[in-house]
Structure 1
Amino acid sequence: MRHLPGPLLVVDLDDREAWTEDVSDVAEQYVGGRGVATRLAHERIPFDADPLGPENRLFFAVGPLQATTTSFAGRTNLTGVSPLTDGLLSSNAGGYLSRNLASTGYAAVEIRGASDDLVAVHVTDDGVEFEDVPELADTLVPAVSRRMAGERDLGAAHLATVGPAGEHGVRFASVMTYDHRAFGRGGLGAVLGAKGVKCVSFDGDSEPTLDVPEGALSAIDEAAATSDDPKRTQGTPSTVDLLNEEYSLPTRYFSEQSFEGAANLNGDAVEAKKYEKATCSDCAFACKLPTRDEETGVETEGPEYETTFSLGANVGVGDLVAVMKSNDLCDALGLDVISCGDAIAAYLASEDAFGDADRVHDLVTKIAYREGVGDVLAEGVSAAADEFGVRDWTVKNLGFPGHDGRVLQGQGLSYAVANRGADHLYASVLSDEYGDVPEDTLDGKPALVVQRENEHALEDAAIACTFSGGNVTDEHYEALLDASMDELRNVGARIVTLERHFNNERGFDRGDDRLPFDLPGLADAIDEYYERRGWNDDGTVPDAAVP
């Protein structure tokens, strides 16, 4: 099985030293990315670690596709224990960081311990430098990029940065790269912030080489460049009208399922604000959305669909420029847009105060600095729901995205059982249910959820962008990774099981696999899901089944 070569670089913040360790045996079994990071986290993070304590560790990792120049490979993985879900969580971000990490020659980088003083960690193929940066406390993400570009020739493409939200321990703080690309969901930005790290940079000239079939790479690039997918020009907002009219666009803290202002937030509206094409590293798909409003001067990247949902429809705001501003604030402050919008929507529901864009912007800032009511909202949707007396729209404390599990029943099952909680990308059954698979039934869905979870775990190990579906085929994966799809799906299955076992050791069981709404037949579907996974009826992994 082909995998990314290179050692693990261990960065110890306690003693400010670094060393390498051979992890080739792990890479051979888990390919790279989320796979390698999950295996290492399972072995090296204590099961009882405090997510915001020094015993938690973060693993940056890339995969074999990052050693190529193919499309859909501009992704980097980040894994650690989430301060929001309290379980093991992996996130990945686009941009250009992946190539720069790969150029250091390391397959993965482990960040352990904690610094007493705010520090920037500079990783190169020659080693690690620790730079004290007390003057960067509470600095916005773009300003950190400008400082590192001016003083060290390390622009945003080289950086993984936390904003004020990460420094203030917001439980859904993101780690940002390229200023607008986020390791979102689950709050790993708060973990890096708790370690006293403002940013990590990656730079080197030790790019790994892989004997990858050139034909497979050129076929992927050709598919990306000729695709007629509307996401190439409009990003994910291209789906707003379809979802609003035929499925569901959750609105006003999930109390409604369509939004009267959807036309102001759809693909056409966003494309009208787009002022240039943009992409991730070497990707011909070029789906990114640099947008600008000439009248107000608001400029950002996006919003993508999830932001039009979370900081648009779900808070009752139908003004695209206002949503663009919310998007830009979240990126600069280092906040996950979905959890941030959901927490604000929970508060607005309690106040019956939807639709005030200025208030939303004020709350985003208050959350990042934990000021006033923002201190409660910074704890996440569950805490806000409890404090303000509204329904808790989370699974495992992770707020819902804009793909409605009440309508897409397979996606609802996926939310319930996913190790990450209510994450639409963990299995992405939604892609099937928006297509040819009937959405209004759980029949056949447990098998589909297992299959899609395994495939997405493999995708995150490779690492390939989620938009690669239909462009990177099973045949491509077999050629690129030198293994059969049965073997590769089994890699994905082992990743999912390792995550579940880690979470079991932290106290997770069937009681955590639930939804905040009724779905007929859910209990039976969960039973079948466990059976297909080879897990116990209580949602735990048998000792014999731990990889």
Structure 2
Amino acid sequence: MLHATGPLLTVELDDSTTVETDIEDAARRYIGGRGLATKLAHDRTPFDADPLGPENRLVFTTGPMQVSTMSFTGRTNCTAVSPLTDGLCSSNAGGFLSRHVADTGYSAIEFVGAADELTVVHVTDEGVTFEAVPGLEGAPVPETAAYLDDEHGIGSDRTAIVGPAGENEVRFASIMTTEERAFGRGGLGAVLGSKNVKALTVGGDSRPDLELPGTADEIHREAATDDHIMKRQGTVSVLSLANEMDGLPSYYFSERSFEGADGIDGEAVEEKKYKKGTCSACAFACKLPTRDEARGVETEGPEFEVAMAFGSNAGVDDIVDVMISNELCDRYGLDAISTGNTIAAYLESEEAFGDTELIHELVEKIARREGIGDTLAGGIHRVHGELGVDDWTVKGLDFAAHEGRLLHGQALSYAVANRGADHMYATFYSVEYPLVDAAEAMDPAGMAGKAERLVERENLMALNDSGVVCKFSRDYMTPERYEMLFGADFEDLLAVGARTVTLERHFNNRRGFDRGDDALPYDIPDLERGLEEYYEARGWIDGVVPEEALPEDAAEPAA
């Protein structure tokens, strides 16, 4: 089975030392990316680790595809215990970082402990250096990227940076790469910030050799020539469909359609798009470089989730206002989905929907933890009581745009996902709108047949995250192509995904998670039946992984 190669580099921040560890056996079993990182975290991070404490280990990982030139492979994984959900969380970012991580020769770069002062860690195949950067305290992401370029000739494509939000341990802070691509959900930027690491830079000339079959060229060619709507409008292309189906969260989830949808939909974004945008080596080019000269804003996006969070959910119907919110989140290092949803909760409490001046002011206040921003920096789950609003989260993670009250399989996915109310954990919405061929589609209503299908999709998405292969390759990656590319039976590949999901769940179980955490803030017909069928398909008992269901290589972490 194709898998990542290269050792684990552990960066011991307490004393600025490093250790290399052979992880060939783990890579062979978990491929790379999220799978490998989950295995390392499960076995090396204490189950009772404080997410913002020095014992929490944060690891960046690549997969075998990151040394190829195939489309849909420009992504990097990051994993740690989340300060937002308190469970194990993996997030991946696009852009151009992945090939540079592979160039170091390491398949995983892990941080543990905490530096005495604000530090940039430079990792190459020739060694690791630690640079104290007190002058960058509080610096936004673009200023930090400019410093690294000016002082070291390191472009933003070789960096992973935290902004003020990460330094201030905002629980939904992101890690930014290529300035505008984010390791977004779960607050991993706060974890890196808690370790006093301002940035990681990577580079070298030790990328492993890889020869892929002609299938890779076929995928690349199809990605380049296909006339796909996402090439013009990105994921926001689905916003109008969602709104027409009464499935667009609006006004802090109190409504399911938005009268101003045409001001923030795919056509509105396409009007502001001024060039093509892509990730490393990808011919699909679905990114959205946008700008509005009249108001002086240039950003990338917004995608659908952000158009919901800062648009319909905040009562905003002007795409330029949403673009400004998006750019501010990138600048300060914030997950735009959680930031928008948290601000929407505040707007609900203040009866201030649509107040764009207040919204933009709140983004910086949250990042700096100033005034009400200090309260909101805890996220919806921690502050909803104080605000007097409902808790629209699962496991502490706020909802994505795909409406579970319409798409019942997606609702089940939100409930059971180890990461919380995350649309990408299984992308079940795609079979319920549907965005797939009719033969693969399912009725959005009800739970019939959905639990087993959900298990399959969770396993497939975990496989993609381990490869690492972009989720938007769904129209191009068939079981036969997976087998050709990874040199293994498709069922064996899905088993890698199953092991990954199981280890995540077991880690969270040891932190106290059980069936009670697989809950929604709204009622769905037959949800309990769906949960029972899901647990049965997984071999779990009331949301808990029994010892006999654990992968045979699962280990207890070191004390």
The TM-score, its normalising length taken from structure 2, stands at 0.97
Question: What is the aligned partner in structure 2 of residue 117 from structure 1?
Answer: 117
Q: Does 1:136 align with 2:140?
A: no
2:511 to 506, 509, 525: 506
Alignment deviations for residues 145-204 of structure 1 (CA, whole Å, 9 cap, x no partner)? 111011111111000000000000100000000011000111000000000000001111
Q: Does 1:321 align with 2:320?
A: yes
Question: Superposed, which structure 2 residues align to 1:101-250 within 5 Å?
Answer: 101-213=101-213, 215-250=214-249
Question: What is the aligned partner in structure 1 of residue 70 from structure 2?
Answer: 70
Alignment deviations for residues 78-118 of structure 1 (CA, whole Å, 9 cap, x no partner)? 00000000000000000000000001111111111100100
CA deviation after TM superposition for structure 1 residue 379, in Å: 0.3
Preserved CA contact (<8 Å) 1:4 1:67? no
1:491 to 472, 493, 496: 496
Q: Please tell me the residue identity of whatever aligns with 1:291.
A: T
What CA distance in whole angstroms lies between the structure 1 residues aligned with 2:233 and 2:344? 26
Question: What is the aligned partner in structure 1 of residue 410 from structure 2?
Answer: 411
CA deviation after TM superposition for structure 1 residue 39, in Å: 0.2
Alignment deviations for residues 435-484 of structure 1 (CA, whole Å, 9 cap, x no partner)? 13100111111011101000000000000111111112222211111101
Question: What is the aligned partner in structure 1 of residue 42 from structure 2?
Answer: 42
Question: What is the aligned partner in structure 1 of residue 547 from structure 2?
Answer: 543
What CA distance in whole angstroms lies between the structure 1 residues aligned with 2:540 and 2:382? 31
What CA distance in whole angstroms lies between the structure 1 residues aligned with 2:533 and 2:476? 31
Question: What is the aligned partner in structure 2 of residue 388 from structure 1?
Answer: 387
Q: Please tell me the residue identity of whatever aligns with 1:289.
A: L
Q: Please tell me the residue identity of whatever aligns with 1:290.
A: P
What CA distance in whole angstroms lies between the structure 1 residues aligned with 2:15 and 2:133? 17
What CA distance in whole angstroms lies between the structure 1 residues aligned with 2:146 and 2:237? 32
Question: Superposed, which structure 2 residues align to 1:62-101 within 5 Å?
Answer: 62-101=62-101
Preserved CA contact (<8 Å) 1:119 1:198? yes
Alignment deviations for residues 31-70 of structure 1 (CA, whole Å, 9 cap, x no partner)? 0000100000000000000000000011100001101010
What CA distance in whole angstroms lies between the structure 2 residues aligned with 1:242 and 1:344? 25
Question: What is the aligned partner in structure 1 of residue 437 from structure 2?
Answer: none
Question: What is the aligned partner in structure 1 of residue 556 from structure 2?
Answer: none
Preserved CA contact (<8 Å) 1:457 1:496? yes
Count of matched residue pairs:
545
Question: What is the aligned partner in structure 1 of residue 286 from structure 2?
Answer: 287
Preserved CA contact (<8 Å) 1:346 1:384? no
Q: Does 1:453 align with 2:458?
A: yes
SS at 2:502 equivalent: helix
SS at 2:212 equivalent: coil
Q: Does 1:6 align with 2:11?
A: no
CA deviation after TM superposition for structure 1 residue 238, in Å: 1.1
What CA distance in whole angstroms lies between the structure 2 residues aligned with 1:135 and 1:49? 30
Q: Does 1:428 align with 2:432?
A: no
Alignment root-mean-square deviation, CA: 0.8
Question: What is the aligned partner in structure 2 of residue 276 from structure 1?
Answer: 275
Preserved CA contact (<8 Å) 1:343 1:384? no
Q: Does 1:259 align with 2:258?
A: yes
Q: Please tell me the residue identity of whatever aligns with 1:406.
A: R
Q: Please tell me the residue identity of whatever aligns with 1:531.
A: E
Q: Does 1:531 align with 2:544?
A: no
SS at 1:235 equivalent: helix
What CA distance in whole angstroms lies between the structure 2 residues aligned with 1:423 and 1:376? 23
CA deviation after TM superposition for structure 1 residue 216, in Å: 1.2
What CA distance in whole angstroms lies between the structure 2 residues aligned with 1:379 and 1:50? 15
Say which is worse superposed, 367-376 or 32-41, in terms of deviation: 367-376
Question: What is the aligned partner in structure 1 of residue 340 from structure 2?
Answer: 341
What CA distance in whole angstroms lies between the structure 2 residues aligned with 1:316 and 1:456? 32
Question: What is the aligned partner in structure 2 of residue 437 from structure 1?
Answer: 442
SS at 1:428 equivalent: coil
Say which is worse superposed, 379-388 or 389-398, in terms of deviation: 379-388
What CA distance in whole angstroms lies between the structure 1 residues aligned with 2:15 and 2:544? 37
Q: Which runs of 4+ in 1 moved over 6 A?
A: none
Where does the alignment leave 5 or more consecutive residues of structure 1 unmatched? Answer: none
Aligned identity (percent) is 59
Preserved CA contact (<8 Å) 1:91 1:185? yes
2:481 to 467, 476, 479: 476
Question: What is the aligned partner in structure 2 of residue 516 from structure 1?
Answer: 521
Question: What is the aligned partner in structure 2 of residue 54 from structure 1?
Answer: 54
What CA distance in whole angstroms lies between the structure 1 residues aligned with 2:276 and 2:504? 37
Where does the alignment leave 5 or more consecutive residues of structure 2 unmatched? Answer: 435-440, 552-559
CA deviation after TM superposition for structure 1 residue 504, in Å: 0.3
The TM-score, its normalising length taken from structure 1, stands at 0.99
CA deviation after TM superposition for structure 1 residue 288, in Å: 0.9
What CA distance in whole angstroms lies between the structure 1 residues aligned with 2:512 and 2:372? 30
CA deviation after TM superposition for structure 1 residue 228, in Å: 2.3
Question: What is the aligned partner in structure 1 of residue 555 from structure 2?
Answer: none
SS at 1:332 equivalent: helix
Q: Please tell me the residue identity of whatever aligns with 1:540.
A: V
Preserved CA contact (<8 Å) 1:347 1:384? no
CA deviation after TM superposition for structure 1 residue 247, in Å: 4.1
What CA distance in whole angstroms lies between the structure 1 residues aligned with 2:211 and 2:69? 13
What CA distance in whole angstroms lies between the structure 2 residues aligned with 1:275 and 1:10? 41
CA deviation after TM superposition for structure 1 residue 384, in Å: 2.4
What CA distance in whole angstroms lies between the structure 2 residues aligned with 1:140 and 1:347? 24
SS at 2:166 equivalent: helix
CA deviation after TM superposition for structure 1 residue 210, in Å: 1.9
What CA distance in whole angstroms lies between the structure 1 residues aligned with 2:529 and 2:266? 38
What CA distance in whole angstroms lies between the structure 2 residues aligned with 1:476 and 1:129? 41
Q: Please tell me the residue identity of whatever aligns with 2:308.
A: F
